[in-house]
Amino acid sequence: MTGEEVRALKDEEIAVELGKLREKLFVLRSQGVTQKVEDVSQHRKVRRDIARLLTERRRRELAVEQA
């Protein structure tokens, strides 16, 4: 997910996507403990996508406060 894609999302879509990504990260962590993970780079990708979504959500909050 790129920054442009994140900025195109609505507030509700950001919240839904955050939930999905957090669930995915939880599953990846569980798999890492219980079984061998084929693509370990997924952890980093999911964490960065979560960070992008949180950053955009915060940017919008600050924009509302300033207006």
- Chain segment 9-38, per-residue pLDDT in tens: 999 999 999 999 999 999 999 999 998 878
Total-model pTM: 0.91
Q: Where are the domains of the chain?
A: 3-66
| DSSP H or E segment with residue 35 | none
- Mean pLDDT of all residues in the chain? 94
- In contact, 67 and 49? CB cutoff 8 Å: no
Element (H, E) at 2: none
pLDDT score of 55: 97
- Tokens for 22? 């957090």
Topology classification of domain 3-66: Helix Hairpins (1.10.287)
pLDDT at 41 exceeding the cut of 90: yes
